[in-house]
Structures are given as structure tokens and as C-alpha cells.
């Protein structure tokens, strides 16, 4: 599989571990209250699992399996997809940490980076979403 | 791992599921020239269970809405966490786990114990989730502190499932040079 997919999937696996570890800590905190501050990690837990794991895994696999071009670079401009991946991860880290230390404007910056990452991946994938001339039976 | 433990590359734990898969394939209409290839048995188990959680999660959503409208918003609020986790962990994550085992290329050089890990991940994730779904509302409603250990067990089981999935998929995801 392409290097971008390898990196995206491995990053998504790391986010999965971090997200589940945070979730486990929050759950244990519910049973045996350790620190009220642990509740502030809820948003980071959500970000890690929804964006870091699920969205990143989907984008990484999409880069691998979407139809390729017959002429030129088979996956189009890969640099756009790399930039999308970088922006998404920068956004997740920034927004996640900002939610923990409670700096709203920094969290908004992180969300903007996440959205820019999503938009850039859309730009990359747009031309790769085309119908096949041969209709395959399911 | 001895050869006797494997059936067409699958671990012996998969035999029952393989047999069930064969039976369903026999009943499936197969057209001329169409090959009847299925998916790994562990994927079938993950995907079927994921659909169960989807239905259960949506049913919990109906229950929450009904409770909210019947003047019991506290109980509806208690169920919110279970509703969210049934849909995100039970449905989405479980579906991803199952499809990933099917889709990511198998590593022929992997250690024999790797074959057991998907089963461990399945049982660990589901046992942890079921315990959580039952125990968490009880603790919130009745302040049943004696059930706290079960919630810790649920947390550990679910984390172990994520760890197992990461270990398996990490080696399966590789670039062309290492393929």
C-alpha cells in the first residue's frame, strides 16, 4: 500500500490506543473518583477516536483504494493528500490540547485546521471519484 | 502452531464459523462463472455483532426519547453514554475492526499467536462493552459503589481490545518495499 496510507493507518491506530486509554481512565474515574480534572479529557477522548482514528483511517484507506488514473501520477497530486493529513493531525492535536487546558480560541484554530485538512482531501479525491465504464455486478 | 490447527489458513477457533459460512454459501444462488468467495469467519462475527449493536443503539435512542417525553429526563440522561457507546464502539469501531481484518493484507511471517488475537479482541471488546452498558447506569442511578470494580474491568477489557487490534494491524499495514 502507498506510504501515505501506511502512515495514516498507523497514526489512526495510535489515536485509537490513546482514545481508548483516555476512555478507560474516565470510566475508572467514574467508579473510583481520582481527579475531577479527568473529565476535561472527554473532548480529547472524542477527538482522538472520531477524528484521529475513524476519519483518519477512512481517509488513509480511501487514498489507497479509490480509482487510479491511467495517465500521469496514478493517484493524482499526492502532495495535496499529504498536506491534508498534516493539517488534520495538527488540528486534532491543537484542538484536543486546547480543550484540556481550556483555551477556546486555540481550540477554534484547531477546528479550522481540521476542516482545512478535510477540504484539502476532498480536493485531492474529487477527480478520483469517477464512474467505471464497465458496470460491475455486485 | 501445527498444521492440524488450521483449516485453509484459518485458526481452529474459526471452524464452527467456517461451517456456518459454508452452509449459507450452499443456499446462495451462484451465477455462471461467479466465484463464491466469502470473508474470514472472524469478520462475519464482528460485522454481525456490529449490526446487533446498531439495532440495540437505535432502540436505546427510542427509549431515551420516550423517557424524555414521559417526564423522566434523568433516566434518559443516564442512558446517553450507553447510547453513544453502543453506536460508536459497538457499531462503528466493531465494523471497522472486522473489515480491517478482512481488508488489510495478511503478514505471512507473523507469529502463530497472532491468529488468536482477533478472537481475543472480539471477546474482550464485547465483554467490556456489555459490562459497561449494564453497570454504568446502575452506578449512576443507585450509587452502587460495590459495582465499581466491574466498571474498572470493563475499562481494562476495552483497552486490551484496542491494544490487540493495534498489534495485529500494525504489522499488516506496510509499504510496497516491505510487502
- A14: nearest CA partner in chain B: B166
The helix (H) or strand (E) run that includes residue B66 is helix B41-69
Dig out the grid coordinates for B67 from the structure. Answer: 423517557
Interface of A with B in 25-54 (CB under 8 A): 25, 27-28, 30-32, 49-50, 53-54
pLDDT in tens, A4-53: 999 999 999 999 999 999 999 999 999 888 898 899 999 999 999 999 99
Q: What is the pLDDT of residues A42-72, one digit of tens each?
A: 999 999 999 999 999 999 999 999 988 888 8
- Secondary structure class of B85 (helix, strand, coil): helix
Are A23 and B152 in contact by the 8 Å Cβ rule? The answer is no
Chain B interface includes A106 (CB < 8 A)? no
pLDDT tens digits along B1-21: 344 444 455 555 566 666 665
Q: Does B88 contact A50 at a Cβ distance shorter than 8 Å?
A: yes
Alpha carbon distance A49, B148 (integer Å): 24
Chain A residues closer than 8 Å to B176 by CB: 1-2
CA-CA distances (angstroms) from residue A45 to A17, A56, A115, B71, B102? 10, 15, 19, 31, 27
B165 neighbourhood in chain A, CB within 8 Å: 13, 16
CB B175 within 8 A of CB A2: yes
Average pLDDT, chain A: 91
Give the nearest partner residue to A27 out of B155, B165, B166, using CB atoms: B155
- B10 - beta bridge partners? B7
Q: What percent of chain A has pLDDT over 90?
A: 74
User: Nearest C-alpha of chain B: how many angstroms from A101?
Assistant: 24
* Predicted ipTM of the assembly: 0.86
Amino acid at each position: 500500500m502507498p506510504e501515505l496510507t501506511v502512515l495514516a493507518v498507523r497514526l489512526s491506530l495510535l489515536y485509537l490506543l490513546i482514545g481508548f486509554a483516555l476512555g478507560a481512565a474516565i470510566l475508572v474515574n467514574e467508579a473510583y473518583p481520582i481527579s475531577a480534572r479527568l473529565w476535561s479529557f472527554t473532548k480529547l477522548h472524542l477527538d482522538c477516536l472520531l477524528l484521529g482514528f475513524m476519519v483518519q483511517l477512512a481517509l488513509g484507506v480511501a487514498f489507497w483504494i479509490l480509482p487510479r488514473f491511467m495517465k500521469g501520477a496514478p493517484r493524482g497530486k499526492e502532495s495535496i493528500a499529504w498536506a491534508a493529513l498534516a493539517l488534520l493531525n495538527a488540528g486534532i492535536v491543537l484542538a484536543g490540547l486546547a480543550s484540556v487546558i481550556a483555551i477556546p480560541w486555540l481550540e477554534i484554530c484547531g477546528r479550522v485546521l481540521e476542516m482545512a485538512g478535510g477540504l484539502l482531501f476532498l480536493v485531492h479525491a474529487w477527480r478520483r471519484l469517477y464512474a467505471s465504464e464497465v458496470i460491475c455486478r455486485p | 502452531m501445527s498444521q492440524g490447527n488450521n483449516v485453509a489458513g484459518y485458526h481452529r477457533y474459526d471452524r464452527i464459523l467456517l461451517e456456518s459460512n459454508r452452509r449459507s454459501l450452499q443456499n446462495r444462488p451462484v451465477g455462471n462463472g461467479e466465484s463464491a468467495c466469502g470473508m474470514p469467519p472472524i469478520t462475519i462475527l464482528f460485522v454481525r455483532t456490529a449490526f446487533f449493536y446498531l439495532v440495540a443503539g437505535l432502540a436505546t435512542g427510542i427509549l431515551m426519547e420516550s423517557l424524555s417525553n414521559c417526564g423522566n429526563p434523568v433516566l434518559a440522561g443516564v442512558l446517553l453514554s450507553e447510547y453513544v457507546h453502543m453506536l460508536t464502539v459497538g457499531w462503528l469501531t466493531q465494523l471497522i475492526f472486522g473489515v480491517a481484518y478482512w481488508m488489510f493484507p495478511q503478514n505471512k511471517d507473523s507469529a502463530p499467536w497472532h491468529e488468536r488475537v482477533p478472537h481475543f479482541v472480539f471477546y474482550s471488546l464485547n465483554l467490556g462493552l456489555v459490562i459497561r452498558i449494564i453497570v454504568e447506569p446502575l452506578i449512576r442511578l443507585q450509587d452502587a459503589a460495590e459495582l465499581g470494580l466491574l466498571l474498572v474491568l470493563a475499562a481494562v477489557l476495552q483497552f486490551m481490545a484496542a491494544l490487540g487490534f493495534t498489534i495485529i494491524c500494525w504489522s499488516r499495514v506496510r509499504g510496497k518495499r516491505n510487502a
